[in-house]
Amino acid sequence: METMERLLHVWLEDQGQRNVPLSVALIQEKAKSLFDDLQREQGESSQTEKFSASKGWFVRFKERHCLPHFKTHRMAPGKEDEYPETLKSIIQEGEYTPHLTSLREV
């Protein structure tokens, strides 16, 4: 568990450096993935420990790693990568510009 949390902390720092938006669900998914990978590497002796990456675990993880003000974005799992492309297509299709126009002028 300690190794997984250290790896997760490093991953979070890397994502923060890249300004990648994160959700609690995405962080929980990454924690579970890291835990499962470490269990497979360690073999059958580690298979008895269970981990569910619950919201309670996440709150305690933030406290243990001094991340009380860590910001997350509420976004559905799997949608994080789609956001920039979706926004770009909406802007292009709507022919939006940086200039605001009032509704009366339209």
Asked if residue 23 has pLDDT above 60, the reply is yes
pLDDT in tens, 43-82: 766 567 788 999 999 999 988 888 766 655 555 555 555 6
Q: Which amino acid is at 28?
A: Q
Portion of the chain with pLDDT greater than 90, in percent: 30
CA-CA distance, 36 to 18, in Å (whole number)?
25
Q: How far is CA 52 from the centre of its chain?
A: 16
Q: What is the pTM of this model?
A: 0.61
User: Which residue has better confidence, 101 or 12?
Assistant: 12
User: In sequence order, which ranges of 1-106 are alpha helices (DSSP H)?
Assistant: 2-17, 24-42, 55-64, 83-93
CA-CA distance, 22 to 94, in Å (whole number)?
28
| Coil/strand/helix, residue 20 | coil
Q: Which amino acid is at 48?
A: T
Which residue ranges form the domains of the chain, and what is each CATH number?
Answer: 2-75 (1.10.10)
User: Is residue 37 a contact partner of residue 4, using CB atoms and an 8 Å limit?
Assistant: no
